[in-house]
Amino acid sequence: AERYFTRWYKPDVKGRPCEDFCVLQHSNRICVITLAEAHPLLQSGKTIKNINYQISANCSRLQNKVSGKSKRFLTELAPLCRISSSDGEEYTIYSCIRGRLIEVNENILSNPALLQEKPSTEGYIAVVLPKFEESKSITQGLLTQKEYEEVLMKRRSSAS
Amino acid sequence: MAAVFLCRVLLSRIGYCRCYSGWHGEHGYIPSLGPQELGEYQVLLTGAKPKAKTDLPSMSSLTEKDRPIVQLLLSAGTCPRCVLRFCCVGSQMLYRLPHQDLMKDLQEFLKNSQEKEDTVCLDVADPPCKRIRLEHIREEGADDLNLNGAIPELPLAASGNTATESSAGKVCNVCLGILQEFCEADFVKQVCQKVNSADYQFTSFVFSVSLPPQLSVRERAAWLGVKQQMRNLGLPFAKDDIVQLKEAYKWIIHPQLSEELGVPADGKSLFEVSVVFAHPETDEECHFLATACPDCFKPAKNKQSVFTRMAVIKALERIKEEDFLKHFPCPPSSPKNLCDALEIECNNGAVFVAGRYNKYSRNLPQTPWIIDGERKLESSVEELISEHLMAKFKADSFNFSSSGREDVDVRTLGNGRPFAMELVNPRRIHFTAEEMKRLQQAINDSSDKIQVRDLQLVTREAIGRMKEGEEEKTKTYSALIWTDKAIQREDIAFLDDIKELKLDQKTPLRVLHRRPLAMRCRLIHTMKSEYIDEHHFRLHLKTQAGTYIKEFVHGDFGRTKPNIGSLLNRTADILELDVESVDVDWPPTLAD
C-alpha cells in the first residue's frame, strides 16, 4: 500500500537533534505523520512509558471529533502528542504540516510497542488533510528522501 | 328560452330553417319543442358527446342574467369565447365554433335583449305592425327572429352598436388573443410543423401552455368589472365557476392538434409539446401588485423577473378589491397587439435502459476521470456504454448509475455488475427485443475492455431495485496476495474455516479526502485460499456489500482490523483484485 505515498522529511524539529519526522503524502493529498527512523524513540534501548494526546488543559487530540473545524486546524509546529520514555526523557511530536487534523492513532495508546515496531505503518501518529489550495506548497519546507539521506550522511560524518 | 337560442345556432349551422311550428331541414322535421328536448336533439344531430355529469354546475346556456355580462364585456373589447367563459358556459363544443360565428350569435343575443328592453320602455303609441310583431315575439320567444323575411331590421340601441364594434377585429382585453388567433388553424399548423421537424417518436401528447402573468391580472379585472356592473344594476351575481382560460384553450386546440398529429391528447403522456406565450406590451401591468403586496415578490435571482406567475397569483389572492380597483381598470383596456408565441418546444419523458457489464481492463475508470480539466485516463465504462445508447435513442443527455462500483484497476468478471442508464429527452423510444439485442451486440463488438449483457428497457421504478442491491446484497472477490515473510500451505489453510468474520474498517486513507471519517462494521462471510508460492496466494472471499477488500488485505495502517496481515502475522499487500460476482438478481436475465 505504501506505493501510493511520497515520503517527505523534517529533521531536527524545533532544533532538537535527531528528532526527525517523516510525512507520508498520498496522491490524494492526505498526509500521515510518522517518526523517521533516526528519531531517538526508535533507537534500541528506548522503552515508551506513556503517550499523551492531552497537549494542554483545553486541548486533547483525542477529542478531535467533537470540536468544530477551526479547532482542528493545525499549524506546522502544533503539537500532536507528548511521549515520555522510561529513562525520563520527554518528546513532543509536531504536526510538521499545516492542515486539518483528521485523526490520531489510538492503537498506539493501547499498544505503544507498535510505534517502535512499525513506525511507518501501524505505528503512525496522526492523519492530516491540508487545504486543497495548499496541497502542493506544504511540502516546500520538507526534504525529499534524497535530501534527507544527505542530512543523515552529514550527521554520521560529523559524529565520527 | 336561451337554451333554445343556442339550439337555433346549431340547427341553423347544419341547415335547418325555422318555421312556425318547428324546424325543417335536410335531416327531416323536428316539431317545436321545449328547451330541454331541443337540447337533447342538439346533441344527437351534431354527433357531439353528451355532456358528462361532471360538467360545471352552472349550465351551458346563456340566460337572462347573462345579458349585462355579455353587454359589458363585448363593449369593453372582450372576445366571444372569453365572454362565454365569464358566463360559465361549460359546453366544450361551443368554444370550438369559429369565433366570427360566435360573435354574430352573441350580437344576436344582445339584439334580442335590446328588443326586450324596448318592449318594457315602449310608449303607448306604437305603430300597429310593430305592436303585432312584438306581441308575436312575446309569445314565441327569441326563436322567431329568423322568420324568413318576416321582420324588418330593428334599429339597435347605441350600446348595442358599440358592443359589436368594440369586439370585432380587436385583440381581446382578457385573453390577449389566446382564445382568438392562437386557436386558429394557422397556429395549429405552426405547432405541428415544429413537432414534426423535431422528429420525435410518440403515441400521444400532452400540450402544456405557459401564459404571461398579466393574464391573471386581467382576468381578475374583468371579473371585478362584471361584479361591479351587476351590483350597479341591482342584479345578483353569484361567484360561479368561470371557465378557466387554459381549460377552454385546451378544449379548442386539443382536437385540432390531435387531428394534425394523428395521436390523442393524454394528460399522462410522456411526450410534451410546450408553448410559452408572452406579451411584452403589458408586462408592466403586474408591477402595481408589488406596491400592494410587497412580500409576495422576493428579490430576483439571475436578473429574472420578480413577477413570476406564482407570485402574481399569490398577490392577487391577497390584494383587497378596493386596492385592485384603484390601480387597474376594470374591465381591462384593449391591448394593441396579440401575444407572441415565444417558444414551441418538445420534450420526451426519460427512458431507462438496464443491463449488466463486465470490465476486463485494469486501466478503466467507471466514470470519466478528469482533474482540473485534464483527463487522467482514457475513456470510462460509462462512456463506452452510453456512446451507443445515446446515438440510437437520440437523447440529449444521460445519467449512469450502477449497483456499487469498482476501482480503476479492478476487473468485473462473472455475470457482471447491474447498471441503469437514464436517457434524457430521447427522440426514439420504441425498440423491440430484437433491436435491443442488436444494440447490445454493437456495444460488445466495439470494445474489448467491457461487455454488456441483459440489455433491456425498464421503468423508473426498477432503478430502486438496483440500488437495494447496493446496500443489502453480497459480492464475491478474488484477490492475489503477497506476503513479506514466507508462507507454507498450512499457514493459510485456516482461512478457509473462518466464517462470518467481523471487520472494523475506518474510512480508508485513499478516500479520506472526499469521505468523512467513520467506522464501518462489515462481514466476511466465507474465504477460500489457493496457495501459489512462498510469498503469494490467491484468496476468494464472499463479503457483505460495502466492504473494502484492499484494506482488508493490507490493513490500511492498522485502521482495518482484523486484516490478512494480522491474521497471518505478516505484512501483506494486494497485487490484483477481481470482482467475481455481484449477487443481485436484477435486471432479469435474458435468454440469448
- Domain parsing of chain A, residue ranges: 5-159
pLDDT for the residue B295: 78
Check CB contact under 8 Å for A122 and B557. Answer: yes
Measure the CA–CA gap between B554 and B458, rounded to whole angstroms.
40
Residue A29's closest chain B neighbor by CA? B513
Contact B462, B508 (CB under 8 A): no
**Cα radius of gyration rounded to whole Å, chain B:** 38
Q: Do B337 and B387 have their domain in common? A: no
Q: Which residues contact B111 (CB under 8 A, 6 or more apart)?
A: B145, B154, B156, B160
Measure the CA–CA gap between B210 and B505, rounded to whole angstroms.
54
Contact A102, A6 (CB under 8 A): no
Distance between start and end Cα atoms, chain A: 37
Q: Do B358 and B489 have their domain in common? A: no
Beta strands in B492-571 (DSSP E): 501-506, 519-533, 536-544, 560-561
Residue B2 — pLDDT band, cuts 50, 70, 90?
Answer: very low
B32, amino acid identity: S
Asked whether residue B144 is assigned to any structural domain, the reply reads no
Strand order in the sheet with B206-210: B206-210, B271-278, B340-348
pLDDT for the residue B256: 94
Residue B37 — pLDDT band, cuts 50, 70, 90?
Answer: very low
Q: Do B423 and B560 have their domain in common? A: no
Asked whether residue B261 is assigned to any structural domain, the reply reads yes
Q: What is the mean pLDDT of residues B532-536?
A: 95
B248, amino acid identity: A
Percentage of chain B exceeding pLDDT 90: 48
Asked whether residue B297 is assigned to any structural domain, the reply reads no
| Of B276, B296, B277, B275, nearest in space to B287 by CA | B296
Residue A107 contacts B, CB cutoff 8 Å: yes
Is pLDDT of B150 > 60? Answer: no
Pairing of strands B206-210, B271-278: parallel
Task: State whether residue B109 is helix, strand or coil.
Answer: helix
Q: Which residues contact A107 (CB under 8 A, 6 or more apart)?
A: A114, A122, B558
Is pLDDT of B128 > 50? Answer: no
Q: What is the mean pLDDT of residues B544-556?
A: 93
Percentage of chain A exceeding pLDDT 90: 25
Residue B552's closest chain A neighbor by CA? A1
Contact A139, A147 (CB under 8 A): no
Q: Do B334 and B357 have their domain in common? A: no
Q: Do B385 and B485 have their domain in common? A: no
Residue B106 — pLDDT band, cuts 50, 70, 90?
Answer: confident
Name the helix (H) or strand (E) containing B274.
strand B271-278
Beta strands in A5-156 (DSSP E): 5-10, 21-26, 31-35, 48-52, 73-74, 79-85, 90-94, 99-104, 126-129
Task: Express each pLDDT in B369-405 by its tens digit.
Answer: 888 788 888 899 999 999 999 999 999 999 999 988 8
Task: Express each pLDDT in A77-132 by its tens digit.
Answer: 888 889 988 888 889 898 888 898 999 999 998 999 999 999 999 999 999 999 88
Asked whether residue B388 is assigned to any structural domain, the reply reads yes
pLDDT for the residue A64: 62
Q: Do B453 and B493 have their domain in common? A: no
Q: Give the cell for residue B270.
A: 410522456
CA angle in degrees (0–180, nearest 5) for B406-B409-B415:
50
CA atoms within 13 A on the CB side of A102: 26
Asked whether residue B305 is assigned to any structural domain, the reply reads no
Asked whether residue B20 is assigned to any structural domain, the reply reads no
Q: Do B550 and B447 have their domain in common? A: no
Check CB contact under 8 Å for B557 and A28. Answer: no
Measure the CA–CA gap between B478 and B581, rounded to whole angstroms.
10
Alpha helices in B447-520 (DSSP H): 460-472, 489-493
State the helix-helix crossing angle for B128-140 and B99-121, rounded to 10 degrees. 120
Q: Which residues contact B190 (CB under 8 A, 6 or more apart)?
A: B341, B344
Q: Do B221 and B340 have their domain in common? A: yes
pLDDT for the residue B14: 54
Task: State whether residue B523 is helix, strand or coil.
Answer: strand
CA atoms within 13 A on the CB side of B285: 28
How many Å lie between the alpha carbon of B573 and the closest alpha carbon of chain A?
A: 6
Measure the CA–CA gap between B413 and B477, rounded to whole angstroms.
9
Contact B469, B584 (CB under 8 A): yes
Residue A66 contacts B, CB cutoff 8 Å: no
pLDDT for the residue B18: 53
Contact B366, B382 (CB under 8 A): yes
Q: Do B572 and B527 have their domain in common? A: yes
Beta strands in B27-106 (DSSP E): 28-31
Q: Do B276 and B419 have their domain in common? A: no
State the helix-helix crossing angle for B214-232 and B309-318, rounded to 10 degrees. 30
Check CB contact under 8 Å for A29 and B512. Answer: no
Total structural domains within chain B = 3
Percentage of chain A exceeding pLDDT 70: 92
Residue A23 contacts B, CB cutoff 8 Å: no
Contacts of A29 in chain B (CB under 8 A): 513
Residues of B annotated as catalytic are 407
Percentage of chain B exceeding pLDDT 70: 78
Asked whether residue B413 is assigned to any structural domain, the reply reads yes
Sign of CA dihedral B176, B177, B182, B186: negative
Q: Which domain holds residue B411?
A: 351-370+377-469
Contact B4, B38 (CB under 8 A): yes
**Cα radius of gyration rounded to whole Å, chain A:** 15
Task: Kindly report the average pLDDT of chain A as a whole number.
Answer: 85
Measure the CA–CA gap between B205 and B271, rounded to whole angstroms.
5
Residue B210 — pLDDT band, cuts 50, 70, 90?
Answer: very high
Residue A106 contacts B, CB cutoff 8 Å: no
Best of B482, B557, B569, B570 to substitute, by most chain A Cβ atoms within 10 angstroms, is B557
Residue B49 — pLDDT band, cuts 50, 70, 90?
Answer: very low
How many Å lie between the alpha carbon of A58 and the closest alpha carbon of chain B?
A: 23
Task: Kindly report the average pLDDT of chain B as a whole number.
Answer: 81
Across the A:B interface, residue pairs with CB atoms under 8 Å apart total 45
Q: Do B480 and B461 have their domain in common? A: no
Residue A103's closest chain B neighbor by CA? B517
Contacts of A127 in chain B (CB under 8 A): 509, 512
Q: What is the CATH number of the domain that holds B360?
A: 3.30.70.2510
Contacts of A103 in chain B (CB under 8 A): 506, 517
Is pLDDT of B43 > 70? Answer: no
Backbone φ and ψ of A60, nearest 5°: -120, 130
pLDDT for the residue B563: 95
With b for 16 or more beta-carbon neighbours within 10 A and e for fewer, the B295-319 pattern comes to: ebbeeeeeeeeebbeebbebbbeeb
How many Cβ atoms are within 10 Å of B113's Cβ, its own excluded?
20
Name the helix (H) or strand (E) containing B572.
strand B572-582
Strand partners, B206: B272
Residue A109 contacts B, CB cutoff 8 Å: no
Which residues does B contribute to its contact with A (CB < 8 Å)? Answer: 506, 509-514, 517, 550, 554-558, 571, 573
Asked whether residue B360 is assigned to any structural domain, the reply reads yes
Higher pLDDT, B31 or B305: B305
Q: Do B547 and B406 have their domain in common? A: no
Check CB contact under 8 Å for A28 and B556. Answer: no
- The answer regarding whether domain A5-159 maps to CATH 3.40.50.800 reads no
Measure the CA–CA gap between B526 and B499, rounded to whole angstroms.
5
Q: Give the cell for residue B351.
A: 427512458
Of the candidates B512, B555, B573, the beta carbon closest to that of A127 is on B512
| Of B40, B15, B44, B20, nearest in space to B31 by CA | B20
